[in-house]
């Protein structure tokens, strides 16, 4: 089993696991600042850019992810959408998917996990991924043999970021493992195949066909 945190516009590696592994998303773990839970990376004209979702009481220790509320005192949604449009309007598939993502930068959500999970579901649909992770409202104890990717900046050593054409490839080097949105806007329907090739040959994947729907979290 692969244990994942909830993620905002999760990375290529994150979605490669959702495609290939038996995954559970842990909503009972404690919120970690400056992590993929509320931060994504995209490629702008000047290089890699962080997009950070603002949350209330970010410095409060030991807050379960399921209880973290969004903070709209600053216009982070507007800033994120402007950044996404500026970065990807020249990508081959941005206009095709634009209408699916724009509502997330206009509607206000109460909880970070609802925002993360609904965005994740849209990305899974656009990537044509049939598997769905299980959702746990309680903290998930890792068992021997589990791959626990909750620790900040931890990566699966079997993951290999395969290159693809990025929108600013003419003057910027390839930036690996950005938000999967970068891959989707560049490759469109072919993005899932690149995700499948993201694990080194011979790596055993923990696939489980009995995966529940993302919406089964009950939130």
Predicted pLDDT of residue 200 = 67
- State yes or no: pLDDT of 212 exceeds 50: no
* Whether the predicted model's global pTM rises above the 0.75 cut: yes
Residue 186 has pLDDT above 80, yes or no: yes
**What integer pLDDT is reported at residue 26 of this predicted model?**
98
Average pLDDT over residues 17-43: 95
pLDDT for residue 148: 95
86, 157, 177, 193 from 203: Cα distances, Å = 38, 10, 19, 17
pLDDT at 140: 97
User: Tokens 């842990």 identify what position?
Assistant: 26
Question: Which is more confident, 179 or 162?
Answer: 179
**Residue 199: predicted pLDDT:** 84
Residue 188 has pLDDT above 90, yes or no: yes
pLDDT 10s digits, 58-105: 788 899 999 999 999 999 999 999 999 999 999 999 999 999 999 999
Identify any residues that bridge with 42 across adjacent strands, giving them in sequence order: 49
Mean pLDDT of 21-46: 96
As a whole number, mean pLDDT of residues 8-35 equals: 95
Instruction: Please compute the mean of the pLDDT values over residues 37-54 and round it to a whole number.
Output: 97
Confidence category of residue 208, pLDDT binned at 50, 70, 90: very low
pLDDT of residue 153: 72
Q: Is 216 left (phi over 0), alpha (psi -120 to 50) or beta?
A: alpha
Q: Which is nearest to 14 in space by CA: 53, 44, 33, 40?
A: 40
pLDDT of res. 145? 94
* Domain extent listing, the chain: 2-217
């Amino acid at each position: 089993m692969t244990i994942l945190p909830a993620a905002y516009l999760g990375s290529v590696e994150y979605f490669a696991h959702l495609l290939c592994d038996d995954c559970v998303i842990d909503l009972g773990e404690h919120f970690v600042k400056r992590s993929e839970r509320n931060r994504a990376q995209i490629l702008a004209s000047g290089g890699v850019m962080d997009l950070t979702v603002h949350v209330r009481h970010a410095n409060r220790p030991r807050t379960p992810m399921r209880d973290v509320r969004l903070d709209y005192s600053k216009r982070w949604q507007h800033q994120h959408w402007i950044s996404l449009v500026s970065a990807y309007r020249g990508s081959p598939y941005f206009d095709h998917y634009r209408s699916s993502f724009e509502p997330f930068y206009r509607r206000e959500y109460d909880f970070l996990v609802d925002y993360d999970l609904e965005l994740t579901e849209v990305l899974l649909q656009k990537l044509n991924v049939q598997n769905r992770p299980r959702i746990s409202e309680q903290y998930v104890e890792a068992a021997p043999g589990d791959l626990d990717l909750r620790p900040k900046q931890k990566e699966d050593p079997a993951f290999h970021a395969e290159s693809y054409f990025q929108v600013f490839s003419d003057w910027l080097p390839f930036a690996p493992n950005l938000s999967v949105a970068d891959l989707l806007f560049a490759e469109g329907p072919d993005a899932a195949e690149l995700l499948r090739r993201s694990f080194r040959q011979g790596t055993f994947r923990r696939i489980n066909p009995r995966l529940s729907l993302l919406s089964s979290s009950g939130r």
